[in-house]
Chains A and B, each alone.
Chain A
Amino acid sequence: MGKDTLTGLKVRHAMRKQIVMLQPHDTIDCCIQYLIKYKINALLIGHDGQKPLGVVSKTDIMGAWYSGMELSTPIEMIMNAPPLFCLPEDTLDSALNTMKTNNIYRLYALNEDTNCAVGAIAYPDIVGMLYLYCSKCAQGLFNKAQKTIQQSVKRYKVFEVMTKDVESCREDDSLESVVEILSASRFGAILIADNDNYPKGVISKTDIILCYRHGLQLNIPARRIMSTPVALCHQEAPVESAIKSMILKDLHRLFVVPRKNQPVSGIISLSDAARHRSGSCHACISSRIKVDEEC
């Protein structure tokens, strides 16, 4: 197997050090507040100074709403236990493999001496790190000093990485239907489109858990809460520019169109880019970018 950009890198290079942990008796309401405030998709449950007991994600919260739970329900009732851990010294490759094998989107790094969580690693963090290396690379798309090198580099295009089967809901569909589809989806948001798949809006898992917290009902139509306009990118665009756009817009996914004013043909997420396990140009496949410790 050839080297890719992540070969040799450790979990500690990419992990986020901010850990949010709530107590098992804290409520679902409190959990939503922390997920929104810290812009995270999941948080740990446990007692201070001890090994975390479980994880609660936005998907679990959606499930709680769907099943009619009160916001005052303790989060231990809905947590997934035990959490899966890795070590800061593990390779990113092995962390990614664990995530893929277990079909999970994040891993927590555990300090073996203290038994406490010291970091969290998720796909967007890995993409973020790849982007940093791409931006410093002489062959990087946005490296203005190296225009001549750049023109000769073959770059991954969005259509090579995107997921083609895009699920969508209609504006009149109830939030209940939206929750059903989103719960089974690996994406954090669903497209609201017309019958010809022209984009009308987006509803994210964040939007859904906010509705739950605000006391809305599951029978209201999608159009009432969907965000507009839909963040789009062209399928011929370089992956690097799509990643840049997601990073700047604080989005985890973009919907893809063949050309302006066309129906949606795909979706590209930061996770897709991370799964690709390389930077955004073919150069990374044969010669891994050198990574300095202080990066």
Chain B
Amino acid sequence: MKTTARDIMVKEFKTLSPDAPLSQALEIFKESKSQGRTIFGIMVTNGQGSIAGMISMYDILLFLLPKHVKIWGNISDIEIEGIIERTIGKIDDLLVGDIMTPKIISIDPDMHLMMILDIMIKKHVRRLPVVFNDEAIGIVYISDLFNHLIERV
């Protein structure tokens, strides 16, 4: 019976260096979509394999969100052409480490599935890196946890 993080974690996953251009993260997101398993977050590790943070679609979308978006709804004649391109153009100057989430929760490979579920619900996270001896060895996705639990219903 699968009961721990080790049992359901994905062992093959992409990682990025904090010094990688942000465009590399975008490539991985696009690639995952074309390969049929869309990923929503990529682990960021330093040279020794320890976790430096996580870069998620949310981090990128947060950066793309216009600062005064509250007012946009009241501007009736927005000439949208060029605005999106200009915002996306700003990504070229950024590195993964600039907008990643540096403070992330990681779990031990022996953590029980229900404890993992508890963290995911309380902290509103959908993926948790699994760390052993200060090295990232896997990721537990909420979808895998969900599928594993409903199989047993």
A164 contacts the other chain (CB 8 A): no
- Interchain CB contact under 8 A, A244 and B75: yes
List the 10 closest pairs (A to B, CB-CB), nearest first: A247-B68, A135-B74, A37-B99, A39-B67, A128-B71, A128-B68, A36-B98, A250-B67, A250-B66, A132-B74
A39's nearest neighbour on chain B, judged by CB, is: B67
Tell yes or no: A248 within 8 A of B by CB: yes
Is the CB–CB distance between B59 and A250 below 8 Å?
Answer: no
How many chain A residues have a CB neighbour from B under 8 Å? 24
Residues of A within 8 A of B151 (CB): none
* CB-defined A-B contacts under 8 Å, sample of 7: A33-B98, A33-B100, A33-B102, A38-B62, A128-B68, A128-B71, A142-B77
Contact present for B71 and A247 (CB under 8 Å): yes
Interfacial chain B residues near A250, Cβ < 8 Å: 66-68, 87
Bound together, the chains give a CA A38 to CA B64 distance in angstroms of 10
Name the one of B68, B87, B95, B99 contacting A124, with C-beta atoms under 8 angstroms. B68
B48 at the interface (CB under 8 A from A): no
Taking CB atoms, residues of chain A closer than 8 Å to B95 are 213-214
**Does chain A have a CB within 8 A of B63?**
yes
- Is A108 at the interface (CB under 8 A from chain B)? no
Measured CB to CB, the closest approach of chain A to B26, in angstroms, equals 16
Type the 1/0 row for B99-128, where 1 means its CB is closer than 8 Å to any CB of A: 110100000000000000000000000000
Among A30, A207, A210, A248, the residue within 8 A (CB) of B75 is A248
Q: State in angstroms the CA–CA spacing of A135 and B98 once bound together.
A: 36
B70 at the binding interface (Cβ < 8 Å): yes
Interface assignment of B86: CB less than 8 Å from any CB of chain A: yes
Interface bits B69-101 vs A (CB < 8 Å: 1, else 0): 011101111100001001100000111011110
0 or 1 for each of A30-44: is its CB under 8 Å from B? (1 = yes): 101100111100000
Complex: chain B residue closest to A40, CB-CB: B67
Of A132, A214, A248, A249, most B-chain CB atoms within 10 Å: A248
B10 CB to nearest A CB, Å: 26
A132 to B86, CA, bound (A): 24
Residue A282, interface by CB 8 Å:
no
Q: Which residues of A contact B66 (CB under 8 A)?
A: 247-248, 250
Of the candidates B59, B78, B97, B102, the one whose C-beta lies within 8 Å of that of A248 is B78
